[in-house]
């Protein structure tokens, strides 16, 4: 049994998400960038990509490096697919990693795993923004979430609402009596209203390309990005405006 399994979540339910995963950055699809950043983590025992059996998701397997397994879940929902993946690849815990932002940070993932392991008995561990919300729901786009295998299976059996089975973060965080949760403070240098590293809209993608071209493929950790943005007030101002216009509820 693996200790901590990294799961790159490619359970896309919409064409826009599939398109974001297929876009090329430095000649490689975003999904490949995310997978490689996951395999760079020192605290993960292994990495797989999980998707659904929806025909539209079938071609995504060609975007994944050949040395990384792709698990195709028979359940149409994200939570069901994660639970099924744990049946095929047994592990004590998983780290769920979103697959549409190339700036997912391996150092923050390693820190997350270490924090979870130093306080046994946790069901769910992730980062928290200064506003109290899970940072993985913020537009920063560098975070992941640690979930014990027991909690994944428990949630897969208990969650009935279709939205709960898709919005995994919200489900775990909205049931504090059912799951033991822990939140780590998000780094202050990027936990800001004027930082936006997601790739939700076309202008986000333009910013992604700008950052990539400025730093190169080997310098994309969150500290380097924060340092770059410190010297780009115009870019931060625009990111702040986009965050206000596209605030998530």
Structure tokens at 168: 């995994």
pLDDT in tens, 73-127: 988 899 999 999 999 999 999 999 999 999 999 999 999 999 999 998 999 999 9
Q: Please tell me the predicted confidence (pLDDT) of residue 60.
A: 86
Report CA torsion sign: 35, 37, 40, 42.
Answer: negative
Report CA torsion sign: 42, 134, 91, 165.
Answer: negative
Burial of 35 (0-12, 13-18, 19+ CB in 10 A): buried
In a domain, 148, yes or no: yes
> Is 224 found in the same domain as 122?
no
In a domain, 217, yes or no: yes
**Residue range(s) defining the domain that contains residue 233:** 202-245
> Is 209 found in the same domain as 134?
no
> Is 165 found in the same domain as 56?
yes
pTM summary value:
0.95
Structure tokens at 92: 């004590």
Residues 6 or more apart in contact with residue 197 via CB below 8 angstroms = 101, 103, 139, 140, 141, 142, 190, 207, 208, 211, 225
Structure tokens at 137: 């729901």
> Is 8 found in the same domain as 91?
yes
Task: Please say whether the beta carbons of 86 and 152 come within 8 A.
Answer: yes
Per-residue pLDDT for 37 more than 60? yes
What average pLDDT does this structure show over 26-40?
96
> Is 223 found in the same domain as 178?
no
Neighbours of 161 (CB within 10 A): 9
> Is 207 found in the same domain as 177?
no
> What is the chain's Cα-based Rg?
17
Beta bridge partners of 28: 25
Compute CA 117 distance to the chain's CA centroid, rounded to the nearest angstrom: 19
Task: Please say whether the beta carbons of 32 and 63 come within 8 A.
Answer: yes
Domain count, the chain: 2
What's the DSSP call for residue 28?
E
Read off the pLDDT band of 248 (50, 70, 90). low
> Is 161 found in the same domain as 53?
yes
């Amino acid at each position: 049994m693996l200790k901590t399994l990294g799961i790159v979540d490619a359970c896309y339910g919409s064409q826009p998400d599939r398109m974001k995963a297929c876009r090329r950055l430095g000649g490689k699809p975003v999904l490949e960038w995310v997978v490689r950043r996951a395999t760079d983590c020192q605290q993960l025992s292994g990495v797989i990509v999980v998707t659904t059996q929806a025909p539209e998701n079938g071609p995504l397997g060609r975007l994944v490096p050949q040395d990384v397994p792709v698990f195709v879940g028979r359940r149409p929902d994200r939570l069901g697919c994660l639970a099924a993946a744990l049946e095929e690849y047994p592990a004590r815990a998983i780290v769920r990693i979103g697959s549409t932002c190339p700036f997912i940070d391996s150092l923050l993932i390693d820190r997350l795993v270490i924090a979870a392991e130093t306080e046994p008995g946790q069901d769910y561990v992730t980062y928290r923004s200064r506003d109290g919300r899970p940072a993985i729901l913020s537009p920063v786009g560098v975070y992941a979430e640690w979930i014990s295998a027991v909690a994944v299976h428990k949630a897969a059996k208990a969650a009935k609402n279709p939205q709960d089975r898709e919005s995994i973060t919200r489900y775990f965080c909205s049931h504090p009596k059912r799951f033991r949760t822990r939140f780590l403070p998000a780094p202050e240098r990027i936990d800001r209203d004027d930082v936006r590293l997601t790739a939700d809209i076309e202008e986000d993608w333009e910013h992604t390309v700008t950052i990539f071209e400025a730093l190169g493929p080997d310098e994309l950790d969150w500290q380097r990005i924060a340092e770059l943005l410190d010297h780009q007030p115009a870019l931060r101002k625009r990111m702040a405006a986009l965050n206000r216009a596209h605030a998530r509820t």
